Structure 1
Amino acid sequence: MNHFAQDAVIHRYALSALSPLAYIPEYASQIIDAGGVLAVKNTLQYHSGDPQVAISALQMINELAKHEGCKDALVSAGLIPVLLQVMQAHAGNPHVQALGLKCLATLCGNSTSIQAGLFQAQGIPAILNAIRSAADTRATDEGTVGLITEGMNLLAAISTNQECRPQIIQYGGIEITLQVMRFYIDFPLIQEHCLRILSGLTLWPEAAAKLLQAGYIDCIIAAMTKYPETQGVQMSGAYALGMVAGSDDAKVAVINAKGIEALVTAMYWHPMDQHVNEQACAALAILCEADRGKAILANAVAGEEKMPSPEVITNSMRNIYTIANPVKQMVKLVAIAGLDETMRAGLIQAFTINGIVQVLQVHAENSAVVFYALKATVTLGYPHPPPEMIHICESLLDLVLAVMRAFPAEARIQETGCEVLSILARVEAMQDRIITKGGIALICTALKSFQADTGIQRKGCRAFANLGEFQTSREAIRREGGIELIILGMKYHVSHPEVGEQGCAAIANLALDEANRTHIAQNEGVNAVLAGLRLHQAHPGIQAFGLGALGNLATAEDNCAVILKAGAVDMVMHAMASWTDEPRVQHFACLALSNFAHDDANKVAIGRAGGNKKIISSMQRHSDHAGVQEQACGALANLGVNQQNMVEIAQLSGIELVISSLKKFPTEPGVQENGCFALSKFLTMPNESYRQRMKQADAEAGSL
C-alpha cells in the first residue's frame, strides 16, 4: 500500500484482505504496529473520491476500533477529521455515510475524550446534516435505513457527553431525533437508538422544557406501545421517561400520555430482564411521588389477561430478587406506591411481602437495598400487620434485628428498623420473641446513639408505645433503660411535636404498671409530658397522648398531686374545647378526668371547671366511638360520687347517654363495666326520678 500509494485497485484489495484480520485482537494490534493506521489514513486522503476504496477503508477502521487497545492509536493518528472529510466527499452515497457514522460510533463508544475530539472537529453538525438529509427522504431502502440507524447510534453515544449535548441541541438534534422516530416507527433498532439519544439529552437541564414542547413523551410512548417485546426499546423508553419525569409538569405530561401503563406493560413483557425492570421501577417511583400517579398505578393492568400492576411488580421481584440494582428500585417503588390504599391492598394480596423478605435475606449487606426493603415493609404493614403478613413476622423480626446490628452507624436503617419493630410489636405473640432476641435492647441502642435524630427518636418511641400495650414488654422496657431514653428524647426534642407525641404515647402505656409509674416520676417524666402539652397546644396528637399519659400517671397519688398542681385540669378543659372533633383527644381527656377524680377535692374542682359539661358533650359528639364512651362513662362514675356533680350530670341527660352507650356497645367490656359503674352511682341516691329515667331510657334504647 505504501509502495503503490496512487493505485486505488491495490488499496481496495489490500484493505479487503486486511479487514477480516482486523476482527481478531492479536492481528489488529499487529496491523497497527506495522503502520496500518497511517496507511489507511493515507489511502482515504489519496483516494477520497473513490467510493469503493472509502468503503473498504471504513470497514477496516470499524473493525480496528472495536478493540479498546486500538482506539487511541486510531484517534491519535488524526482519523476523526479524515472520516468527516470522506463523509462530506460522498454526501450522496448512503453506504459510505452509514459506514462513516458506524466508525465514529464505534470509536466514540464510552470514551469521553474521543467524543470531545469529535466535538472539536465540528463533527456534530455534519452528523446531524447527514441524518436529516436521509430522514427527509422518508426512504426505507436498506442504504437509507442503515445510514439512519448508524447515525442515531452515534448520536446516542455522544448525547451522554456533557460537552456534546448543547451542540446537539443547538443544531436541531431534538427535532431530528423526534422526526426520525415518527418517520421510522417501523424500525425497532432506530427507535431504540432514538430513545437512548433522548435519555442522554435530558441530562442537560435546559433540554427538558424543549423536549416536552416538541412532543418527546408521545414519541416514547408510541415506540414502547409498538414494540412491547423488544427489550432495547422498553429499557431505553423506561429510562427516558424516568429521566424526564422529575418536575411536576413533566409528571403530569407523562401520566396523561399513559406512561404509567406503558411502564407496567414493559415489566409484564420482560419479567426476568433486570435492566427493563430497573428502569421501569425507577420511573414509576418518580411518577408515584404524585398521588394521581399512585392511583393510576393501582388500577393499571397489562397483557391479554389484564394482570394487575401489583402482581406484575411482585412477579418481577420473584424472578430477579437476587440482583441488587433492580430490586432496590422495586422495593423503593413498593414503599412509595403502596401509600395508596388500593395499591397497598393489591400488593398485600399479591404477597409482595414474601418477595421483600427474600430481598432482605439475599441483600442483607447492601445498605441501600435494606433501607428501601424496610420502608416497603412499613408501607405494607403499618399500622398493624395484615393477615397475609402474620406468617412471616418471625422471619422478618430476625432479618430486621440482623440488619440493625450490621449497620449500627446507618441512621436511616436504624430509623426504619425501629419502625418495622413498632409494627411487629402490635402482635401479642411477638412480644416474647422481640424481648428474647434483643429487639428492645436494639431500640435502646438506637435511641442512645442518635439522640439528635428526630426520626429515630420518634420511631423508637413509637415502638416502645406499641410494645407497652403488653405487660411483659412494659417490664422489659424498664429493665433495659427504655423509660429514661424516652424521657431524654422528649426533653431533647421538646420543640418537635411528633417526638413528643410518640414519647407521650409510650409513657401512657408504660404507666399502666405501678413500678413504671414510679420510675417515670423519678426520671422527671411527669414534667416532660407537661412541657410537651404546654408547648404544643395546636397539635392534637401530643394533646391526646399527653393527657393519656397524665391520666395513667395520676393513678399514683404522689404523681396526681404534682400533675394537678401544674394546672392539669385547665389543660384538659382547654384541649377538650379546642379539639371537639378529635376522638383521640376526647378519649384521653375523659381518661385523665376519670383518674384525676379519685380525690374528693378534685371531683369538686373538675365539676366547677366545667368538666361534667365537657364529658357529656364529648359523649354526644362521639356517640359511635367506643373508646370515648368507655372513658366518659368512667369519668362520670367517679365524678358522680359528688352529689353536686351527680345533679349536674343528671340535668345534662347523663343517665340517658350512659344507657345509650351500653345498648350501642354490648360487646365492649370497657363500656359495659364503666357504664354500669356510672349508673350504680345514681342507684345509690334516694331519688326515684333517677330510677324512672333509667327505666324509660332503657325502654327507648331497646326500641331503637
Structure 2
Amino acid sequence: REAWAAPCPCEEKEEEEEECCLICMEEARPGEPLMRSPLEVTCNCAYKIHSACMAKSVVSYGPRCPVCRGPEGAPLSPVPDALREAVTSWLTGGAAARTKHGVVARWGCWAVCALAYGTDGMREQLMRAGAAPRVMAAMKAHGGHPDVAEQGCRAIENLCYQSPRRCMELWRRGAAAFILAAMKAHMDCARVVEHCFWAMKNLATYSNFVRTRLVENGAVELIVAAMETYVGDADVSEQGCRAIINLACASDAVRARLMRAGAAAHIAAALEVHAGNAGVAVAGLAAIECLGLE
C-alpha cells in the first residue's frame, strides 16, 4: 500500500494563485495579463480581468462593477480612468497583445479613440505612449475585421485632431494606406466607410502633400464609389462631401480628377435625396463651390 503524503505547500500555493478573468473566465495568456479593475474602487468586490474585457464591460455598463453593478446611481457612461487603465495595458503589452488577438486589438483601438476624443494633452500623451504604431499594427494584423477597421480609423481621426505635427507623424507611419485599405476591404459596411472619410479628412487637413498622395493612391475613386453605394445614408453622404472638400483644396488637377470621376453628380444626388438634412446641405453646397461649380 502506498504511503499517504501530505500535499506540498508550494503546490497548494500555486493552485491558490491560479486566477481567471471575471468576464471571459480564461486565465492570463502571454501578452494578455490579468489586471485589477479600476472599477473595484466603487464597491467591495475584488477580482481581476483582462484589459480588453474590462474595456468591453465599461462600454456595456459604464462605471458599474460587473459583479454587483454598483454603486447605485453611477452614470451609464465610460470612465476616463478605466479607459486609461485599458489602453495603458494594451500599449505596454507584448506583441501578442497588440497583433495576435483580434479582441484586444479592437478594444485597444477603441480605448485610444475614446481617450483621444478628450483634450489635446491626452492626445499628446497617447502619441508619446506609442498609440500610433499600436493602432497601425492592429489594423495591419486585423484589418479584415470591420470592427478593428472602424475603431482604427476612429483612433486615427481623433489623434489627428488639431495638430499638423501629429497628422504628419501618423502619415509617416502609414495611416493613409490603412485608411484606404479599410475602405477597399469594407465598402459593404457603412460605418467603416463613414469613419474612413472622417480619418481621411482629418489626416489631410493641414497638408497638400498628404492630399495629393491620397489622390494618387485612389482616394477620389473610393470616395465617389462609396457615395454612390450609400447615397441613401445621410452620414456617409455628408462625410463624403467633406472629404471631397478637403481633397479639392489640393490643386486644379485634383479638382479635375474629382470631376472626371463623377463627384459633382454624386454630390447633387446626395443633396436631392437628403434635401431636409442640414448637414448634407451645408457640406454638399460647400463641395460644389470647392469644385468651382455654381
Match of 1:400 in 2: 179
Say whether residues 1:445 and 2:209 are aligned partners.
no
Residue 292 of structure 1 and its aligned partner are, at CA, apart by: 7.4
CA distance in 2, matches of 1:475, 1:441: 13
Q: Secondary structure at the match of 1:391?
A: helix
Match of 2:69 in 1: none
Residue 385 of structure 1 and its aligned partner are, at CA, apart by: 5.1
Say whether residues 1:348 and 2:134 are aligned partners.
no
CA contact (8 A) 2:58 2:77 kept: no
1:586-606 CA-partner distances (Å, limit 9, x unpaired):
xxxxxxxxxxxxxxxxxxxxx
CA distance in 1, matches of 2:104, 2:291: 42
Residue 235 of structure 1 and its aligned partner are, at CA, apart by: 4.1
1:478 pairs with one of 250, 259, 264: 259
Q: Which has the higher contact order (CA 8 A, sep 6+)?
A: 2
1:257 pairs with one of 33, 38, 42: 42
Say whether residues 1:431 and 2:217 are aligned partners.
no
Larger Rg: 1
Higher helix residue share = 1
CA distance in 2, matches of 1:467, 1:355: 27
- Compared CA separation, residues 314 and 508, structure 1 to 2 (3 A): farther
CA distance in 2, matches of 1:411, 1:317: 33
Match of 1:371 in 2: 150
CA distance in 1, matches of 2:159, 2:77: 17
Match of 1:321 in 2: 98
CA contact (8 A) 1:297 1:343 kept: no
Number of matched pairs: 261
CA contact (8 A) 1:313 1:330 kept: yes
Residue 366 of structure 1 and its aligned partner are, at CA, apart by: 1.9
CA distance in 2, matches of 1:435, 1:292: 37
Equivalent residue runs for 1:25-424 within 5 Å:
188=17, 192=19, 196=22, 231=28, 235=34, 238=37, 254=39, 257=42, 276-286=50-60, 287=62, 293-294=79-80, 296=81, 311-316=88-93, 320-322=97-99, 323-341=101-119, 342-382=121-161, 384=162, 386-393=164-171, 395-424=174-203
CA distance in 1, matches of 2:94, 2:234: 33
CA contact (8 A) 1:411 1:450 kept: yes
Gaps of 5+ in 1: 1-12, 17-141, 151-186, 201-229, 242-253, 267-274, 302-308, 512-516, 522-704
CA distance in 2, matches of 1:430, 1:321: 27
CA distance in 2, matches of 1:317, 1:386: 30
* TM-score w.r.t. length of structure 2: 0.74
Q: Secondary structure at the match of 1:452?
A: coil
Residue 463 of structure 1 and its aligned partner are, at CA, apart by: 0.6
Match of 2:248 in 1: 468
Instruction: Please tell me the residue identity of whatever aligns with 1:390.
Output: M
Residue 340 of structure 1 and its aligned partner are, at CA, apart by: 1.4
CA contact (8 A) 1:310 1:343 kept: no
Residue 315 of structure 1 and its aligned partner are, at CA, apart by: 1.7
Instruction: Please tell me the residue identity of whatever aligns with 1:428.
Output: N
CA distance in 2, matches of 1:313, 1:258: 25
Match of 2:72 in 1: none
- Compared CA separation, residues 495 and 258, structure 1 to 2 (3 A): farther
Instruction: Please tell me the residue identity of whatever aligns with 1:257.
Output: T
Instruction: Please tell me the residue identity of whatever aligns with 2:221.
Output: A
- Compared CA separation, residues 284 and 379, structure 1 to 2 (3 A): farther
Match of 2:66 in 1: none
1:504 pairs with one of 257, 272, 285: 285
CA contact (8 A) 2:58 2:78 kept: no
Residue 231 of structure 1 and its aligned partner are, at CA, apart by: 4.7
Gaps of 5+ in 2: 3-8, 64-74
CA distance in 2, matches of 1:413, 1:387: 25
CA distance in 2, matches of 1:374, 1:363: 13
CA distance in 1, matches of 2:213, 2:54: 39
Residue 510 of structure 1 and its aligned partner are, at CA, apart by: 2.7
Residue 433 of structure 1 and its aligned partner are, at CA, apart by: 1.5
- Compared CA separation, residues 470 and 432, structure 1 to 2 (3 A): closer
